[in-house]
Amino acid sequence: MFNLANNLTLLRIGAVPIIVALLYFPGPWTTFVAAIVFGLAALTDILDGMVARRQNLITNVGKFLDPLADKLLVSATLVMLVRLDWVEAWVAIVIISRELIVTGLRAMAADKGMIIAADTHGKIKTILQLVALGPLVLHYPLLGYDFTGIGLIILYLAVIMTIFSGGNYLYNFYRNWLEQE
């Protein structure tokens, strides 16, 4: 369980309360540190998969923890950004709702012995969410540049991909369910 890939995933989960605590006291320095922690946590999402594949460390624990870590990181960050009125609540509701729906579908599929694996659309969705949230966490201008506009544009693209990939999961679930019946 405690191989390098899973430890990287656990670091991502451990970063969540740090980011939440830093955003609880928003200011230029705390958001800067929160953005760095967020960026490092997002980087572990890339690294844990690479390490797991290269070192043949793919485990059931890792398959469970990796998407959980992504959901925790994105959801907690979105909730804090809504609390600060830096992101509209509907955006967080759409993204978090999709995550809950897909998790429920996967649980129902698993109960029937089906596996609904992560697909390219879901991976693109996660990348867009992570890339968008970094500048939004930073919030304040850095070296004279305000990156929040770019973050919001990417976040809206992430919402579109979130809806599309959620629909794709629903379609695949339904199609697989019919084949099982």
Specify the pLDDT at position 108.
86
- Cα separation, 95 vs 110, in Å, equals 23
Residue whose structure tokens are 């599929």: 109
Specify the pLDDT at position 111.
82
Domain ranges of the chain: 4-180
In 3D, which of 58, 140, 133, 37 has the Cα closest to residue 92? 133
Q: Which CATH number fits domain 4-180: 3.20.20.70, 1.20.120.1760, 1.10.630.10, 3.40.640.10?
A: 1.20.120.1760
- Cα separation, 26 vs 20, in Å, equals 10
Greater model confidence, 72 or 118: 72
Model confidence at 60, in pLDDT bands (50, 70, 90)?
Answer: confident
The token duo for 76 is 């907690």
pLDDT tens digit sequence for 20-43: 999 999 999 999 999 999 999 999
Residue 181 has pLDDT above 70, yes or no: no
Entry pTM: 0.91
